[in-house]
């Protein structure tokens, strides 16, 4: 069974631009969560989607948004990029009944904002 895939793996953007990241979950997984990893803050929860609906949301500004498609693929969008948005963005998928321990992470997208 293929793992969680994220595209692109690396991205360089300039301040003020917007960016869209993509995540394809493991086949059969309907929940997709997004995390931001920075050296000083560790992994911070952005949001979780299940059946095309945002089910949980972390404490991030409205510039961070996401969506999920009917095939469970998910995209995350960041508008008006700031230097502090430079981070590794990880997505994780799990089954409908999956708890935190059943999350499977992708390799991440490394975003650099200049």
Residues 6+ apart with CB under 8 A from 105: 4, 90, 91, 92
Site stretch for another protein (CB under 8 A), options 13-21, 43-51, 62-70, 75-83:
43-51
41 forms part of the interface with another protein (CB under 8 A): yes
Residues of span 82-101 touching another protein by CB under 8 A: 90, 92, 99-101
- Closest distance of CB 42 from another protein, Å: 4
Report CA dihedral (84, 90, 91, 97) to the nearest 10 degrees. Answer: -110
The verdict on 8 binding another protein (CB under 8 A) reads: no
* 25 interacts with another protein by CB under 8 A: no
Residues 112 and 97: beta-carbon distance below 8 Å = no
Among 13, 45, 75, 95, binds another protein (CB under 8 A): 45
- Classify 112 as helix, strand or coil: strand
Regarding beta strands 109-113 and 10-13, do their DSSP bridges make them parallel or antiparallel, or are they unpaired?
parallel
- Exactly one of 14, 51, 56, 77 binds another protein (CB under 8 A); that residue is 56
Among all chains, which residue has been given the structure tokens 């086949």? 27
Residues lying near another protein in the complex (CB under 8 A) are found at: 4, 33, 35, 39-45, 48, 55-56, 90, 92, 99-108
């Amino acid at each position: 069974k293929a793992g969680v895939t994220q595209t692109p793996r690396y991205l360089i953007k300039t301040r003020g631009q917007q960016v869209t990241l993509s995540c394809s979950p493991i086949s059969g997984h309907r929940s997709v969560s997004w995390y931001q990893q920075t050296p000083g803050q560790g992994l911070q929860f952005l949001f979780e989607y299940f059946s095309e609906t945002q089910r949980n949301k972390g404490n991030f500004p409205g510039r961070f948004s996401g969506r999920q498609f009917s095939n469970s693929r998910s995209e995350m969008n960041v508008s008006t990029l700031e230097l502090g948005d430079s981070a590794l963005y990880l997505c994780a998928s799990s089954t409908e009944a999956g708890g935190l321990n059943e999350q499977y992470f992708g390799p991440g997208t490394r975003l650099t904002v200049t």
